[in-house]
Homo-oligomer: A and B are copies of this chain.
Amino acid sequence: MSEKLAVAVLGAAGRMGSEAVAAVEAAEDMELVAALGRTDPLETLVSAGARYVVDLTVPDSTEANVRFAVEHGMHAVVGTTGWDAERLGRLADLLETSPGTGVLIAPNFALGSVLASAFAAKAARYFESVELIELHHPDKVDAPSGTAVRTAQLIAAARAEAGVAASPDATATALDGARGAEVDGVHVHSVRLRGLVAHQEVLLGGPGEQLTIRHDSFDRASFMPGVLLGLRQVAGHPGLTVGLDGYLNLND
């Protein structure tokens, strides 16, 4: 019988962290060996026997947490933001000294969202037109969403590489804003509606046909299957991986 993964959650008192604690406890192939809050010492990871660390803390502490894990040979799955190029470079250097250790840093753990973005970029090479609609609750302060901007950038890059022309648009007279924002030439529309959570739709059109790829996030629970998948695969991916799509077999 295979042993259970010994998992510790950092940031266990936060909204995402407490969901992760529950998800790890519910997973039959995992054992929760530690759940640390802001003031708990990292040494607890060692004494608890953690082999896997989930970091869902804050930008100020995530780098120190992950370095501690790697230095102790623990694999890490990281959902905290704030990993810029400089931090990533330092972490990659550190990982060279611990060649069997894996770290996954993912801005988004919702499997559906990661898949939707990857599919949209693949498909965008084959369609004359592509636009993007994202829909969120009305308390959101930025528009478009970060996910929508990243998806549009992926789409634009895939089209540029494939030599696809810009989406056709004969608009000659328009009300200000009607045609949305442009992100690298891709039109992006942001809807804000009470009752919604986080939703995104990529529309691709060619002569006589349309392909639509839509993702709906109804609740934070949507991140947990991605966190568990990360924990199950991180040991098999030594070194640094950025983005959960690196673990999805999209090319099979």
Contacts and interface: CB of A to CB of B under 8 A. Distances in A.
A142 B126 contact: no
A173 B141 contact: yes
A122 interface: yes
Nearest to A211: B112
A218 B211 contact: no
A143 B221 CA distance: 26
A135 B111 CA distance: 21
B190 A179 contact: yes
Interface in A161-189: 167-183, 187-189
Contacts of A138: 129, 167-170
A176 B171 contact: no
A222 B194 contact: no
Nearest to A121: B252
A146 to B, nearest CB: 12
Interface in A130-168: 130-131, 133, 135, 138-144, 167-168
B193 A131 contact: yes
Interface stretch (A64-72, A199-207, A235-243): A199-207
A190 B168 contact: no
Most buried by B among A111, A188, A206: A206
Contacts of A248: 126
A123 to B, nearest CB: 5
A201 to B, nearest CB: 9
B180 A208 contact: no
Given A123-B115, A218-B218, A252-B122, A192 B179 contact: yes
A214 to B, nearest CB: 4
